[in-house]
Structure 1
Amino acid sequence: MDVMDFTDVSLVALRVFREVAERRTLTAAAAALGYTQSAVSRQIATLERAAGSPLLERRHDGVRLTPAGHVVLRRAATVLDEIDATARELAGLPTEVGTVRLGWFTSAGALLVPRALAALRRTHPAVTVHSREGSTPALVRALRAGTVDLAVVASLPPFRPPDTETPSLELEVLAERSLHVAVPATHPLAAADSVDVADLRGQRWIATPSTVEEGRLGVWPGLDERPEIAHTARDWLAKLHLVAAGCGLTTVPGSLAATVPPGVRVLTVRGGSQEQRRILLARLPRPLSEPAARLADALRAAAAVAGPSH
């Protein structure tokens, strides 16, 4: 079997490839890096020539890594991390041995992540955390690409693994919460603490834009009708303020009930299937660095403080 020649592969090509692997489209990678799409395509072509096989499968909804692409990505992440550490050391900058990179899905940024980071600053002030928000699919790709060390992600019934790639991610359930519905305080449904699922028919909803990767979030699951989407917003707080303004209903994890703005009532829903949501801590199956282990402990403690589902 021929040994592939990577001697002329540039670090730029590796960085471009990692960005494409994480974002899953050449267009998105080009925008993130400030390159043209043709420049990104040229860098990928250089890598594929060196590998002697395609690294990406081009599809109508973007690109996916081939088996060879997974190998190159795993090695590229290691190389780039080492090069970045070398550059910092040569520049006389402090090493980042105390740094951990965290990704989190939107609603985890309301209570769980800030609570964990505040506790970590008190107990381990030498640990530096760089964090970023993203959808669960995007965060899973970031873990694979080596751009985050830990990810707090969401899981919906039937609670399948977040991807089918190997090696399988290590997943730990931080919490399991019931889904609730948020209604304007002036809405007729707000008079009680709970609502029957049948009463949600015919309501106007505030939801996230629907994507290929994620369904439309914000509409009560399993409604036996085509819901009327009055407003779309990705930010959960924006959705809740729209609820407060009387613009419609939206769904919310019960753990966030204490954070809703004035003018919003959070109700449990009777009837239909039980709508549970799991908050997972995800990582690659390898030993955690000391900073990452400390952050994981803080996230577990923060999730435990929130108490059981309600």
Structure 2
Amino acid sequence: MAIKLEMLRVFRVVAEQGTLAAGARLLGRTPSAISMTLAQIEDEIGAPLFETDRKSRLTPLGQLVLEESRRATDIFDRSAEAIRRHAISTAGIVRIAAVPSATVSLLPAVIEAFQTAHSDVRIEISDVDSVAVRRRVQRDEADIGIISARPDDPSEGELIRCDDLGIVCAEGGPVHAAHLAEGGRSGWGLLALERLIANPLCHLIDDPDVHALLAASTLEARNTTAILSFVRRGLGASILPFDAVRSQPEGVEFFVPSHPVGRRELRRIRQKSDRPGAQVEAFWDLLRRPFPTL
């Protein structure tokens, strides 16, 4: 009997749960049926996968089979989900993974233009940081990615737009007051007057004050809306691009320190070997059009 995907799924569940009974409950099957499936896998492989009958400890071979089982079942599940999504939208689907600031400032206008010509195409947006964007594109979990990058590192992706990075703080708070007192010629060191709300964009600023504050930060957020909410609440100050705060909520101030100037680029990425459909290609092309920001 050849090894089947469902066998690998059963083995994975039991191995991850640690006991035969727990695996059986999760799978909704009897322990005897699960035990028979595991025995079939071991017979096919020709070696034991568990060190004890309790299924609580894997053999070295079992650990390797677990890794392969995870890989195989994850790939199948992603493919099955993609098929289900395509069945919902017969005109096709475009999957976008983008950094939060791009979701706020760039994508609304792009989506509006895209839907004018492709109203029946399904669009899925993932709001994640640049590291997760790259990972989703590499794993074929997204057709197009939008990342934040430093202008001095043009090794990845194609430029969409560039904007200033600056300090976002509460109106009337210590950072804002110090900025006004200095007549607008402020440095990044003003962030030391409040708690730094860390986010991945902070790492794009090459300044020793920012580096030290990042190392000491005890609060981190990756969603633009959450960061602005925390700032407005008085929980600290942070670093965001101008596009993300162009339409600032009441009670929030934004300014660009005069030294050193921090810039952020938005870039589009996709798999080089990918052969995108017409819908994905159309969305990809729209990302370079000069849409107004929100």
Q: Normalised by the shorter chain, which TM-score bucket?
A: 0.5 to 0.7
What is the identity, as a one-letter code, of the residue corresponding to 2:187? Answer: V
Name the SS of the counterpart of 1:142 in structure 2.
Answer: helix
Cα RMSD after superposing both structures: 4.5
Q: Please point out which of 177, 180, 190 is paired with 2:163.
A: 177
* Higher mean C-alpha displacement, 103-112 vs 151-160: 151-160
Change (3 A) 1:85 1:140: closer
Change (3 A) 1:11 1:207: farther
Shift of 1:208: 3.4
Aligned equivalents of 2:171 and 2:189: distance in 1? 16
Higher strand share: 1
Counterpart of 1:139 in structure 2 is 133
What is the identity, as a one-letter code, of the residue corresponding to 2:198? Answer: T
TM-score, normalization by structure 1: 0.61
Shift of 1:215: 8.1
Q: Please point out which of 284, 289, 302 is paired with 2:277.
A: 289
Change (3 A) 1:190 1:215: closer
What is the identity, as a one-letter code, of the residue corresponding to 2:177? Answer: P
Change (3 A) 1:190 1:241: farther
Q: Please point out which of 109, 120, 129 is paired with 1:115.
A: 109
Larger-gyration structure (1/2): 2
Counterpart of 1:271 in structure 2 is 259
Change (3 A) 1:220 1:266: farther
Name the SS of the counterpart of 1:259 in structure 2.
Answer: coil
Change (3 A) 1:85 1:145: closer
Aligned equivalents of 1:297 and 1:230: distance in 2? 40
Name the SS of the counterpart of 2:195 in structure 1.
Answer: strand
Counterpart of 1:305 in structure 2 is 292
Establish whether residue 8 from structure 1 lines up as the match of residue 3 from structure 2: yes
Change (3 A) 1:151 1:218: closer
Establish whether residue 154 from structure 1 lines up as the match of residue 140 from structure 2: no
Higher helix share: 2
Change (3 A) 1:224 1:252: closer
Shift of 1:261: 1.0
Change (3 A) 1:146 1:194: same
Preserved contact between residue 206 and residue 243 of structure 1 (Cα < 8 Å): no
Name the SS of the counterpart of 1:300 in structure 2.
Answer: coil
Shift of 1:99: 0.8
Structure 1: segments with no counterpart, 5+ residues: 1-6, 18-25, 28-34, 37-42, 51-68, 162-169
Name the SS of the counterpart of 2:159 in structure 1.
Answer: strand
Shift of 1:226: 3.0
Preserved contact between residue 178 and residue 190 of structure 2 (Cα < 8 Å): no
TM-score, normalization by structure 2: 0.64
Q: Please point out which of 194, 211, 216 is paired with 1:204.
A: 194
Post-superposition Cα deviations, 1:31-56, rounded to whole Å, max 9, x if no partner, equal: xxxx89xxxxxx9xx8xx99xxxxxx
Shift of 1:247: 3.4
Structure 2: segments with no counterpart, 5+ residues: 18-25, 28-37, 46-66
What is the identity, as a one-letter code, of the residue corresponding to 2:212? Answer: R
Change (3 A) 1:13 1:122: farther
Shift of 1:241: 2.6
Name the SS of the counterpart of 2:243 in structure 1.
Answer: helix
Percent of pairs with identical residues? 16
Change (3 A) 1:11 1:291: farther
Shift of 1:88: 8.1
Aligned equivalents of 2:204 and 2:169: distance in 1? 12
Shift of 1:182: 1.2
Shift of 1:176: 1.5
